[in-house]
Amino acid sequence: MKPILFNFSDAELNAFVTDMGQPRFRAAQIRQWLNRGAPDFSVMKNLPMDLRNQLDQMAVTLPVKIITKLESADGETTKFLLELADGNKIECVLMRTTYGNSVCVSSQAGCAMGCRFCASTLLGLQRNLTTNEILAQVLTAQWELRGDRGTSRPNGDPNNGDVSHVVIMGTGEPLQNTENVIGFMERLNQDLGIGWRRITLSTCGIVPGIYDLIKWGRPINLAISMHAPTDEMRSQIMPINNKYKLDDVLTAADAFTAAHNRQLMIEYILLGRRNEMGETELYNATPEMAECLADKLTGKNCMVNLIPWNAVDERDFAAPSGNAVHRFQDILIKRGIHTRIRRERGTDIGSACGQLRLNNHQGN
Ligand code: SAH
């Protein structure tokens, strides 16, 4: 297997370059390209061509390699299917929004959580990603925006601006890989200058992991994948709820937001089911469930993101109608709960929430 230069320390990179009979300053040049997310050596314009070719024979740049890149029809969303050195595949998504460029990264190859509505867990967990493998997803998106320019593109260019926001909401459960994910967030902050408040970590509710984040002490945004207001219903769709009960998850989340004076983000997928007549019946999205959710959240400093379910072929759910979604939201608003309906991005390329999966070349 070829060595991955991005993973080398400065001393290792120096040694590698001088072993090739090259002057030391080449190591610094290469490092600069690596930090910009250079996908291969051919783009390293300030290196002599024969050195680039030689490097290409001997090594690779990043711990992720782009297999396919899919663009949504509106041009706002790009999904990358990436291959890791061991052949595992992961996905990450770049979203160009009015508030900046946001990257959704995966924290694991596959997922062990088994949530009934999600595609990412269908093949189980392969392994945790390393800090560098998570970071390289952001650099890949940054390269997409900047290309081989050292700076961001001008206003008016669709790829204007740098990566400004990162959400850890791709495949995997970040709090099952807490150490590497924390290492990743530290690098984001130090190396890319991304502020803590522009980083969001989403968890299905691993209670000890939330306390680890509190101990870590950085004021990131925390999102909880709640999806049902009662333990009874939540356990039916999220097996992790058998281990960590909803009230304990919310208590831990409250402790996190209190520590940083942040608003807690609650994610709530709206699920329907098809009955024998082929009609969609609401599951967790009935008016009663909205009232029950409001009971649970009253008095908390939180924002509920309602996510109409995104289709996953293997999963036996259906998206509720637009009316049902609005009725659900209205109840929450009347009860004084901050709520918005999440605008899904990239549904046409299978990159919306819960659609990310391993090994998917078609992007559905
Ligand atoms: N494991 C973490 C990180 C993944 S975040 C977590 O559970 O929070 C991905 C978000 O998309 C989660 O809120 C997840 O529950 C949600 N999701 C999963 N499948 C979905 C689907 N089919 N439609 C809409 N959202 C989905």
pLDDT in tens, the chain (364 residues): 899 999 999 999 999 999 999 999 999 999 999 999 999 999 999 999 999 999 999 999 999 999 999 999 999 999 999 999 999 999 999 999 999 999 999 999 999 999 999 999 999 999 999 999 999 999 999 999 998 888 888 888 888 889 999 999 999 999 999 999 999 999 999 999 999 999 999 999 999 999 999 999 999 999 999 999 999 999 999 999 999 999 999 999 999 999 998 899 999 999 999 888 888 899 999 999 999 999 999 999 999 999 999 888 888 899 999 999 999 999 999 999 999 998 778 888 877 777 877 655 444 3
pTM given for the model: 0.95
For ligand 1, atom 10: residue with the closest CA: 353
Q: How far is the CA of 49 from the centre of ligand 1 (A)?
A: 45
Under CATH, to which class is 65-363 assigned?
alpha beta
**Nearest-angstrom CA–CA distance, 221 and 200:** 5
> Would you call 186 a catalytic residue per the annotation?
no
Domain ranges of the chain: 5-58, 65-363
Pocket test for ligand 1, best of 116, 168, 269 (most atoms within 8 A of CB): 269
Q: How far is the CA of 303 from the centre of ligand 1 (A)?
A: 16
Distances (CA, A) of 73 to 22, 70, 279, 311: 46, 9, 30, 18
> Would you call 292 a catalytic residue per the annotation?
no
For ligand 1, atom 18: residue with the closest CA: 354
- Which ligand 1 atom sits closest to the C-alpha of 224? 8
Position 359 scores a pLDDT of 59
Pocket test for ligand 1, best of 118, 176, 204, 266 (most atoms within 8 A of CB): 118
For ligand 1, atom 20: residue with the closest CA: 354
Q: Where are the alpha helices (DSSP H) in 261-352?
A: 287-297, 322-334
Position 356 scores a pLDDT of 77
Q: Are 55 and 61 in contact (CB under 8 A)?
A: no
Q: How far is the CA of 293 from the centre of ligand 1 (A)?
A: 18
**Bridge partners of residue 81, in order along the sequence:** 68, 91
Residue type, 17: V
The fold for domain 5-58 equals DNA polymerase; domain 1 (1.10.150)
Residue type, 49: M
**Nearest-angstrom CA–CA distance, 74 and 70:** 12
**Nearest-angstrom CA–CA distance, 34 and 18:** 18
